[in-house]
């Protein structure tokens, strides 16, 4: 499975329905390939792994929008409610203050767009749960697939 879509039940149902149309089920997925660090590409990866035991494959330079180690290192992390408005705002500010992996500045959405995402639940802890890959690939290292070979490269987004 390449880029299993957004997190959440709607995306999960859509994925399950598309697989069913093709004659498969989620249980047929043995590997999830995440092409880059956007929620709409990696959002369903951990759920697939928890349901099927699938491996998660990313490029070794895969970047997480929400760096789990920062939270774990924060002495107050046990007291944080990741779904509180204050915590959501802190995540939003941090994400849009960081540079993208290739060095350019992030463009912060308009306040109305952020509010729309907030109302949809897009800034809670489940939305920012990033996959922990158990297979990392490097630039131009040959991979053996079921049918043939391939060389990965880091596209750094939709490039």
> Cα-atom radius of gyration of the chain, to the nearest Å?
17
Residue 82: give the domain boundaries. 67-129
pLDDT tens-place string over residues 13-70:
999 999 999 999 999 999 998 888 777 788 889 899 999 999 998 888 776 554 444 4
Nearest to 70 by CA among 91, 85, 92, 89: 91
Same domain, 151 and 94: no
Give 91-115 pLDDT, tens digit per residue: 777 777 777 656 677 777 788 877 7
Query: Does the reported pTM lie above 0.75?
Result: no
Strands 143-145 vs 148-150: parallel, antiparallel or unpaired = antiparallel
**How many domains would you assign to the chain?**
2
Helices 111-119 + 85-97 axis angle, to 10: 130
Residues 38, 23, single domain; the answer is yes
Which CATH number goes with the domain that contains 56? 3.60.15.10
Between CA 11 and CA 3 the distance in angstroms is 12
């Amino acid at each position: 499975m390449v880029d299993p879509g957004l997190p959440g039940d709607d995306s999960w149902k859509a994925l399950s329905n598309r697989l069913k149309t093709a004659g498969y089920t989620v249980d047929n997925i043995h590997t999830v390939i995440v092409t880059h660090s956007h929620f709409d590409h990696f959002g369903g990866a951990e759920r697939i792994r928890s349901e099927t035991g699938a491996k998660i494959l990313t490029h070794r330079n895969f970047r997480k929008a929400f760096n789990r180690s920062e939270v774990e290192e924060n002495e107050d992390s046990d007291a944080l409610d990741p779904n509180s408005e204050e915590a959501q705002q802190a995540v939003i500010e941090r994400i849009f203050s960081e540079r993208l992996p290739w060095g350019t500045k992030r463009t912060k959405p308009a306040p109305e767009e952020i509010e729309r995402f907030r109302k949809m639940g897009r800034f809670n802890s489940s939305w920012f749960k990033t996959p922990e890959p158990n297979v990392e690939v490097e630039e131009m290292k040959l991979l053996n697939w079921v049918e043939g070979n391939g060389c990965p490269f880091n596209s750094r987004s939709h490039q």
